[in-house]
Amino acid sequence: MTEVRWVRLFVDHFRRCALAEGEVVAVLSETASRRELVATARFAAELAGGRVVDVVVPTPANVERVPIRSTGASQALQGNPAAIAALAASDLVVDCTVEGILHAPELGAILSGSARVLMLSNEHPENFERFAWDDDLPRRVELARSAVENAATMRVTSAAGTELEVSLAGAVVAGSTGLTSGPGSIAHWPGGLVAAFPAAHSVEGVVVLAPADLNLTFKRYVETPVRLVIEDDHVTSVEGDGVDARLLRSYLSAFDDAARATSHLGFGMNTRARWDYVELYDKGEINGTEARAVAGNFLYSTGANEHAGRFTAGHFDLPLLGHTIALDGRVIVEDGVLAPELAAPSDDER
């Protein structure tokens, strides 16, 4: 069910998240969770000195017309007060649910106690072997997060035709370093992503998906161009003649209007993350968190945005290559390359 090499990796990372001897660690899982991931997390937490408790809930039936994938809004807890109380009373919650609780409605109650949450992406543990820790990543992510938080506008363009204008007034900005930072914090591993959740009525323009971009809901590389027209936050038109546009239109039609709205947008900063890894695993062995964090990618996402008062099960995460991102006119990503102050030092400088 697990391997010693994976357990050692997880021990090291839990200690980076300040897991101390004697802290209570709740390993949250559901009946459909990846067994290798749960076992590895449990053994590592014990070896790191945690007092471990398993919180296991049944995976609920899917009430939607289509499969739900990569939402970050697990429905497994179902508001269960006993489970929520146990998680909130813990010091560290290791989230091994299939979808993750990053956007789950119960997250606020869990973080209101003593807990901090580390969400382990629903990936085969082997994936984590490739992430040698970058000590400089938290500094760079915080620098980028602060830049987005203090900007009034974000403009995103690409040679393929993206022309997107985003007002950042009232936006909630998050930066995931992969590390928890005390009670009330949440992180996902691997980290290296900065994202803004815009307020309502803040997003207008066009986003173009070009060949080699990713659709992480389908875990599929785009092969034919797709043009998304966005008006008042919402995708009002999905244009394109190929299978990618047809799949997008079909999936969106299964949900309410909120599924067409902008959820969040941002960019990856993890130079250890690989764009090509999606091609090397079966779909069931990955969840795409690594692809979201690839340095210089532009991430556009549709679906739930609690900060804009929108909730829905429909969700698309679309990491796109070759985009330019400017904050109040200052370019921080140019043609898919991070500005020098946000890029990782070269190996010679480490």
Tokens 């900060």 sit at which residue? Answer: 307
Beta strands (DSSP E) in 198-350 are: 203-209, 214-215, 220-221, 226-231, 234-239, 262-268, 298-305, 310-320, 323-327, 330-334, 337-338
4-130 — its CATH code?
Answer: 3.40.50.2300
Average pLDDT over every residue of 32-56: 96
Residue 348 scores a pLDDT above 60: no
pLDDT in tens, 130-153: 877 899 999 999 999 999 999 999
Share of the chain above pLDDT 70, in %: 99
pLDDT in tens, 180-222: 989 999 998 889 999 999 999 999 999 999 999 999 999 999 9
Cis peptide before 190 (omega within 30 of 0): yes
Residue 305 scores a pLDDT above 50: yes
Tokens 């997250």 sit at which residue? Answer: 107
Q: What is the pLDDT of residue 342?
A: 95
Residue 8 scores a pLDDT above 60: yes
Residue 165 scores a pLDDT above 90: yes
Q: What is the pLDDT of residue 22?
A: 97
Q: Name the band, by pLDDT with cuts 50, 70 and 90, for residue 350.
A: very low
Residue 346 scores a pLDDT above 70: no
pTM: 0.91
Which of 312, 321, 315 is closest to 294 using CA atoms? 321
Q: What is the pLDDT of residue 306?
A: 81
Average pLDDT over every residue of 242-250: 96
Dihedral, 335, 316, 290, 110 alpha carbons, nearest 10: 130
CATH 3.40.50.2300 segments of the chain: 4-130
Q: State the Cα–Cα distance between residues 195 and 208, nearest whole angstrom.
A: 19
Per the CB < 8 A criterion, the answer to whether 201 and 232 are in contact is yes
Residue 128 scores a pLDDT above 90: no
Q: Which of the two residues, 99 and 299, has the higher pLDDT score? A: 299
Residue 349 scores a pLDDT above 60: no
Tokens 């915080």 sit at which residue? Answer: 142
Residue 229 scores a pLDDT above 70: yes
Q: State the Cα–Cα distance between residues 320 and 267, nearest whole angstrom.
A: 9
One-character DSSP codes across 27-75: EEEETTS-HHHHHHHHHHHHHTT-EEEEEEEPPPPP-SSS---S-S---
Q: What is the pLDDT of residue 347?
A: 44
Q: What is the pLDDT of residue 79?
A: 93
Q: State the Cα–Cα distance between residues 288 and 300, nearest whole angstrom.
A: 14
Bridge partners of residue 268, in order along the sequence:
193, 295
Residue 249 scores a pLDDT above 70: yes
Q: Which residues, including other chains, have CB under 8 Å from residue 138's CB and lie 6 or more apart?
A: 177, 178, 179
What share of residues in the chain are helix, strand, coil (percent, to 5)?
A: 25, 30, 40
Average pLDDT over every residue of 294-309: 92
Mean pLDDT in the chain?
A: 93
Report CA 215 to chain centroid distance, whole Å.
Answer: 13
pLDDT in tens, 82-99: 999 999 999 999 999 998
pLDDT in tens, 111-127: 998 999 999 988 888 88
Per the CB < 8 A criterion, the answer to whether 109 and 91 are in contact is no
